[in-house]
Amino acid sequence: MSGKQSSAYWGFVRTLEEMGQRRPRIILLENVFGFLTSRGGEDFKAAMKALNSLGYSVDPFVINAERFVPQSRERLFVVARMAEAAEGDGLLAEDPIFFQDEIRPKRLAAFILDNPDILWSLRTLPPLPKRRFDLDLLIEQLPDSDPVWWSRERADYLLKQMSPMHRSMAEDMIVGKTTSYGTVFRRMRAGKSTAEMRCDGIAGCLRTPKGGSARQILFVAGKGRYRVRLLTPREHARLMGADEFRIECPANQALFGFGDAVCVPVVEWIAKNYLNSLFAEISAKTIAA
């Protein structure tokens, strides 16, 4: 919470404090799921207590973008609302099962139960949608002559970096009768750079490309051949649900932006199923008052 790249939260809280009576009635926050367990949960607790001190009750939940797009991207969201807007909500502290559901997994439910001093205000939400399509529908069909494709030597080296299990997955794809797609990340395992692939129709979580290991690699194979390249900026956009977003910057800058962004259809779902109805309720209470 005080790191070089993670201290912006306190600036945000300070801004809310300085706004006084002009503070928004509803706030939506997003972070990685690891925020919940950072420093044994103390960071998340401090963040929620800071919002409480400004008059907000809080409602955390977890959504993985893979329910909307073929990208594994689990994120922790928090809706904060002015406490008076939460009248009639609240918790059933005598019923721990109440806390755990599809969007509040066991670890989050336990955190809520273990921190009754935080002003919570949970809301029941509808089931998340089922993912409707796989990675193959988002891939740009680039010709073999496109320079983005890796050389044969570089592609072969990637295969050599795979463990026996991942190499077997790749070879099964290569001998397949149809073209299939997988994504690969390079990771350090026991001090050695290895290539790890997934071919379940879902890309790994997009990241900001600060180093070579953060770049997601596309593995295309079938009919006795295979090709390798990095995912393109347009494919990043599609994996974030921003299919037609205009990309007018260098590729590396685009990848950084998409890797640090929020998946559009996830936020649309939250707006439709949570924020819009909450806003309507708050507006009705304001008018009635």
- In the chain, domain spans: 8-131+263-288, 141-231
What is d(CA 229, CA 146) in angstroms, rounded to the nearest whole number?
10
Beta bridge partners of 228: 219
How far is the CA of 98 from the CAs of 111, 129, 200, 247, in angstroms?
13, 21, 33, 44
Side-chain-side CA neighbours of 159 within 13 Å: the count stands at 21
pTM of the entire structure?
0.89
Backbone Cα Rg of the chain? 22
**Structure token pair of residue 239:** 């994996």
pLDDT in tens, the chain (289 residues): 666 666 789 999 999 999 999 999 999 999 999 999 999 999 999 999 999 999 999 999 999 999 999 999 999 999 999 976 444 455 544 444 567 889 999 999 999 989 989 999 999 899 999 988 899 999 999 999 999 999 999 999 999 999 999 999 999 999 999 999 999 998 888 888 899 999 999 999 998 876 555 789 999 999 999 999 999 999 999 999 999 899 999 988 999 999 989 999 999 999 999 999 999 988 887 776 6
Q: What CATH number does the domain located at 8-131+263-288 have?
A: 3.40.50.150
